[in-house]
Structure 1
């Protein structure tokens, strides 16, 4: 800013100053720059009459104003600024002309064109006309905006580009991990459509089928099953419906009529009889059960209810265990639907224990009958001895850890419909 302030009058060439030194700061053809009402005015100086008065080359055209700050601009400075502006404008125009010429080539040129960049370097590339010609009929679009043909393509598209990266069916299947006509290994989940199945056919009339098509709407009908076929014979295994949304049983059935049913309550049935192997040739260290009649006297033939089951009749594992630990087996803890956990759950070989002890007990009873007929007193003594043995067996200690409570088990198996392909 120059010293002092100036007063300007509309349409007047006279400028008066306060605290100014016009004669020192200005000379003819210099300029005054002043801002009035937000507008910048550049005023040429014709002559300086005194330190506080000068005359403009052209009358001031703005509004009358006093106390304006101002700046003296020597003529040479303004001329230099103007020259720089002119140079910048000329450079911009040259750039525009270059752009016009470059775009003209891009729009209307053919083949390879050369464009000049702002720094003076050049770049060569195809004109739009040549691109259109090059792509013509290379990717024809059909009625549904899909690509109907691609000509001139000699390199197979990669999987990332939507192709297979291969030129033969076998190589494409290998690249995509698909099966050949000879089959292959499955990694992940296979999902058939609703109410559909999967079948594996092979030579010599054998076939495997997996299906979830119900064979009827009532209770007892299969709703999910696997079939193994051999000529006209078959074996079927699967689940049966209970008439509502629950499962009645898991079954195994043969076309010849044989079948086994594992029921919801935990029982099992069969069209025949479960037959155990009992050949003496595969047994060794054979011993007769001891104190058979005394042991049978400690057994309790009982009717009872079971957790997760109905009422049954039979023996109690712990009663038999006191007389014969060999009749008991274990398979770890057992958890029930209410969350009860019975540690080291005991299983009883009921048929074996009953057959062995009852057989030997009957023999002892027969001996007692004979003894009672011939020697009644000896028979009474034997009966007393048997009773004493029975009390000893009844009071034999066994291990029984108390049950505990946990959260009920969750029977939840993910469906193949919930399967998602890995992202990596």
Structure 2
């Protein structure tokens, strides 16, 4: 051990400072999943299957890159600590790349404009990997307290929920207010500024944070990945989270289509996001309290069931008033709050348990694999939704005014509701098998 163990308690300033990083992760995690697929199908005029490929490929690249970013941050030697320098370096590049994502000039070619999106989105994904992985790795080193990590995650998820509401509600509103390609360009620039605020806030807000450092694990990246994969608790938790990220990705991708094509109401996309995130802002502390009372795993199961119920109820979108759909999505938001608090509080427990047992710091590798899984789920979500659109016969256009057949409307509804509900319920198969006691003691040495 090189730096001692981080103190159990954290100051409010440190919690808030760390939480501000979710402004960057929330904006980048939300807006492309919400806006990029409809931008490609309804503005560039790309077929749904091709658009799905463009959205998925950069995220698939992140799946490969995230463990490498974790390994690099584990071995970074810097007076500011191994993680904070990456928050600034990668965060600034992320903001710049995102400003360019929707800013393609009029190239008079679908192929050229699609290539622009693909290349710039790859740059965004690369920068995001080197920001997100060190950021997620920090809690295991900031505090050794089991419940303190839950409180730290409460701040993070609260900021995340607010950012999702702000970015998810304002991005389509700005696009619609300005209109056309200029609407997308201005929206992209504003979201880049929001990302920059989160990057600088997290970097400066954690400058006085305690960091308990342990020696980086020996061996190659492949060897460390093998060790990480041998953790049963980590495998179960990761599988659960990836399936739920896939479900969330489907719902994010479907919001714009559900609002415009199924509900047919102006501003419905913004209302859906307010219904989704509003409950999360209010109930995140409540879920944290539930976790402290009944345990993180049980709280995670309960919130997952609430999310699945809300998504299932949204399957009636074609037959019920819009208000009923909004209420179902609000129920999804209630469950979503817990489904963010609990896994993000359980991951540092797994990484810290490994450090206690081995004396080696593999937090970066753990979080690299974790964010790779999350990225894969969130990427495959829009890809799966795009495939559902293609099967349903969705009609792409450059003006977004194409009349959709009934089969496409059914595909939109099911891709937004039943598919995510089934994925969340399926994830419980792994979650119910997770076991990790609070603050487990190190393994005893075997008797001679």
Q: When the two structures are superposed, what TM-score results if normalisation uses the length of structure 1?
A: 0.20
Normalized per residue, which structure has more helix?
2
Greater gyration radius: 1
Q: Which has the higher contact order (CA 8 A, sep 6+)?
A: 2
